[in-house]
Amino acid sequence: MTLKDEEVYRRKKELLARALHKADEADLLDRSATKAKTASWESSMRDGMGLATNQSAWEPIVEVGAEGGSITLYGHPDVKGQWWFCLDWDERTLAMFLDEINHDLLSDRSGVVTGWEEGLKLLYQYPWCHLHPCFVHHEFRKLVLAEIVARQSELDDYEVQAWQRICSDSSNNTTSNNTKDDQVFRLVEEKPRRKMATLVKEYLKKKRPLTVVKLTDVYTLAHNKKEQDSIRAALHRVSVGTAVFKNSTPSTSYAVRLCLLNNEEVFLSLPGVPTRELRTEKAEKQYTKEIFKRFAEKYGAETIKYWVQSAQHRSVVQAACGMRHAKKRDGRNCILCEVEGIADGRDVFACHVVSRKVLFWEAIEEVENIKKTIFTDEAVLLLRKKLKNSPRHSDSEYIVTLCREHDNLLANTISESIGKSQ
């Protein structure tokens, strides 16, 4: 196989992995290896519960179109009227692009589960809400729409509308009794024009960076309890220090969530800062190490250590004015001690939430890309200009006055939330 053929084959494999939402082909092989075991288990299950052994007797419940094929949740009631479900995924449309792969790996069926909640778990192996809806069984459209309503803050308007159309399409569904279902439709139609996440982001962006925000402040965006829950969920998705943020690690952060000693939940607002720039020791080491390695190969390690790292340390002086201004602005008091009602005269410090080290190395890499060198007067002047014009590097808006205890809380929260993924 030539290098060109290898590249084509690699790209085909990437296409397959993306379409199936799997990490690599090894996962598909593992699924294929368990087919026989699953089939045997399903057979005994059907025998015991009176389920049809004829595949055609299983009805499609939810079908969505994915890149290269489809995903279908099938259902079948047993003799007691209890619904059982299994999931089919079929990506055989990709066969035309994948000549060198076993086509049996492009389709499979899950094991059988009982109950709607378990059926939903099968669907949630994939981002089914975001995929194109093709069919919804008439007996399940209310349940499907209820699930879409619960997730609507995560969906785009056109995605919600697509589900609404498929669930209200008379040609798709055979029932016309819409009295209760219309209540669900109205919930979807009452969805704000802008998603809750967008509202929360815009709210935080309008705040001065590192303003203390409480849930009661953000709840002013809501009109009822249900919207409050949606707003809190949206806030957690964009805030460092929450479980959902730690699991997904968005590229941009809009707040840092802190749990104070009195168990109060507060947020320090951000206007949308690249997550990689937030202050974590691991992030600084990893990010700067990659740039240092490239520079060392071009200029020599000792040269970079002496000149560039010395320049980085000198750049810290630029923030001195901003640090003094921040402490004066905050009345030389820890802003979080004030929230907790602590007035014990603790020493305070001007603390950064953004890593100046990362910002410096980002700037010098940009200079290298533009000027093709960092050792000329023009390059040095450009570097100074970039650092001076970078508000996140030395502007007082990105500096906050904290006592040592609360500074450690801030640093540890950021590190624990994003440190492992960086």
Task: Choose one of 136, 161, 178: the last residue of a domain.
Answer: 136
> Stretch 298-317: mean pLDDT, rounded?
87
| SS3 of residue 59 by DSSP | strand
In this structure, are 305 and 367 located in the same domain?
Answer: yes
Tell me how far apart the alpha carbons of residues 98 and 73 are, in angstroms, rounded to a whole number.
26
> Is there a domain that residue 185 lies in?
no
> Is there a domain that residue 174 lies in?
no
Residue 290 has pLDDT above 80, yes or no: yes
> Is there a domain that residue 7 lies in?
yes
> Is there a domain that residue 190 lies in?
no
In this structure, are 365 and 412 located in the same domain?
Answer: yes
Task: Choose one of 257, 273, 289: the last residue of a domain.
Answer: 273
Grade residue 369 by pLDDT with cuts at 50, 70 and 90.
Answer: very high
Q: Most confidently modeled of 8-17, 46-55, 96-105, 245-254?
A: 245-254
> Is there a domain that residue 175 lies in?
no
In this structure, are 288 and 207 located in the same domain?
Answer: no
> Is there a domain that residue 373 lies in?
yes
Q: Tell me the CATH number at 237.
A: 1.10.10
CA angle 245, 247, 249 (to 5 degrees): 55
In this structure, are 267 and 281 located in the same domain?
Answer: no
What is the tens place of the pLDDT at every residue in 328-359? 999 999 999 999 888 777 899 998 888 888 88
Tell me how far apart the alpha carbons of residues 252 and 79 are, in angstroms, rounded to a whole number.
52
Task: Choose one of 84, 104, 136: the last residue of a domain.
Answer: 136
Which is more confident, 299 or 262?
299
Residue 251 has pLDDT above 50, yes or no: yes
In this structure, are 238 and 293 located in the same domain?
Answer: no
* Range of the structural domain that residue 231 is part of: 196-273
Tell me how far apart the alpha carbons of residues 56 and 182 are, in angstroms, rounded to a whole number.
32
Structural domains of the chain, count: 3
Those residues with Cβ within 8 angstroms of residue 378's Cβ, 6 or more apart along the chain or in another chain: 371
- For residue 45, give Cα distances in angstroms to 117, 172, 177, 235, 348: 19, 31, 34, 44, 66
